[in-house]
Amino acid sequence: MRKLIQLAMALVVIATAFTLSGTVHAQSTPPATQAATSGALSITALAASTPDLSTLAAALKAIGFDNYFDKNGPYTVLAPTNAAFAAALKALNLTADKLLADKQTLTRILLYHVLPGSLQAAAFSKNSGSKVATLLWGGTLTITADAKSVKFNKATVTTADVEASNGIVHVIDQVLVPGDETVAPFADFITFKPGSKDLLTIAGGADNLKTLVAAVGAAPSVGSYLSTKGASFTVFAPNDAAFTAAFTALKTTPDAFLKDTATLTTVLALHVIPWPYTSKVLAGYDGVLTGTVLTDTFLRYKVAGGKISIGGGINIVTADVLASNGIVHIIDDVLIPPSLTAAK
């Protein structure tokens, strides 16, 4: 119980540090090619307007995350039905009122049901057997999928691909309960403090990120998105040498790359996760997937010899540059979506 309380206290730090202290502002439109989904309602509004998700909606409101998930994203929410919550309460010997009043434990559970990125069921089906990271630091879910179903741990998706304006909702038949794997990294959040400068200011002041700064400047929707007030990101920032190599791989020139706004936006979106992850958290994600801002796209991590690589061999060379709105990890190559390399 003591561990649970300590862990829950750490989650409260997240809520305070990133989203719940002060006013939450409206989000800028995410970059077009990674397309926030076309649903008219936000994730929060969708839950609130769906009778069978009323317990989830009440839970989000109880911890103040109704505001956060109304304004930010894109996120994928695994939404337990009212019946799923009722079964969980019975198993835990709790009433709904008691659970809603325990904001610390409730926050921990709810973050375990949210993944960064807008991810349809088909994207998970292609990665059956893999683990995927949630917003709960250190918390992962195992994907099991076949032609008939998609499961996360033991919870089955009963209604898939419900589109929201800022993500995707998949209705599930069980409440997911995080285990002890989240305890160690979450303890670090008690002392975690964001930096004083925002992401774009940090990039602009770095000598080895000039190409990245030019790229963001040439893709206004990306810069606007990363300036969203109240949101927090992980940015994998390729250094200048990485971009030079990427131009060769893409068979393009720097000028042509910067003028091709659609391609540029797609590439940049793959380098952003709409939630902050420190290198210590990522170091626990060997073989684990995280969603990105690019729709239906994952990054997979490999951890060996104390080093973290992404996407099949791209290395983090400078970790944990803390910004007021997220974390920058400088990398030695550019992440290129397979669709672009196939087209070249």
Percent of the chain with pLDDT over 90: 68
Q: Say if strands 272-273 and 233-238 run parallel, antiparallel, or are unpaired.
A: antiparallel
Ranked by mean pLDDT, which of 17-26, 245-254, 282-291, 330-339 comes out on top? 282-291
Among 108, 127, 109, which Cα is nearest to 117's? 127
Q: Is the pLDDT of residue 187 over 80?
A: no
pLDDT in tens, 262-281: 989 999 999 999 999 999 99
pLDDT in tens, 201-258: 999 999 999 999 999 999 999 999 999 988 999 999 999 999 999 888 878 899 999 9
Q: Which two tokens stand for residue 48?
A: 């609130």
Q: What are phi and psi of 271, to 5 degrees?
A: -95, 5
Distance spanning both ends of the chain, measured CA to CA: 55
Q: Is the pLDDT of residue 171 over 70?
A: yes
Contacts of 344 (CB under 8 A, 6+ apart): 250, 251
pLDDT, position 28: 43
Mean pLDDT of the chain: 86
pLDDT in tens, 88-140: 999 988 888 888 888 888 888 999 999 999 999 999 999 999 999 999 999 99
Q: What pairs with residue 289 in β-bridges?
A: 132, 300
pLDDT, position 67: 87
pLDDT, position 25: 28
Ranges assigned E (strand) in the chain: 75-80, 114-116, 131-133, 140-145, 150-152, 155-164, 167-172, 233-238, 272-273, 288-291, 298-304, 307-310, 314-323, 326-331
Lowest mean pLDDT among 54-58, 273-277, 340-344: 340-344
Cα 137 from Cα 288, distance rounded (Å): 13
Reported as a pLDDT band with limits 50, 70 and 90, residue 5 is: very low
Average the pLDDT over 301-312 and give the result.
92
Reported as a pLDDT band with limits 50, 70 and 90, residue 30 is: low
Residue bearing tokens 């003028």:
259
pLDDT, position 27: 38
Record the pTM.
0.88
Reported as a pLDDT band with limits 50, 70 and 90, residue 190 is: low
Q: Omega of the bond prior to 338 within 30 degrees of 0, cis?
A: no
CATH H superfamily, domain 2-189: FAS1 domain (2.30.180.10)
Whether the domain at 2-189 and the domain at 194-343 fall into the same CATH topology:
yes
Q: Is the pLDDT of residue 181 over 80?
A: no
Reported as a pLDDT band with limits 50, 70 and 90, residue 14 is: very low
Cα 18 from Cα 192, distance rounded (Å): 11
Q: Is the pLDDT of residue 23 over 50?
A: no
pLDDT, position 31: 66
Among 12, 3, 7, which Cα is nearest to 187's? 7
Residue 13: other Cβ atoms inside 10 A: 15
**Are 110 and 65 a contacting pair, CB within 8 Å?**
yes
Among 13, 240, 224, which Cα is nearest to 104's? 13
**Domain residue limits, the chain:** 2-189, 194-343
Residue bearing tokens 């006013």:
23
Q: What pairs with residue 132 in β-bridges?
A: 141, 289
Which class is 194-343 in CATH?
A: mainly beta
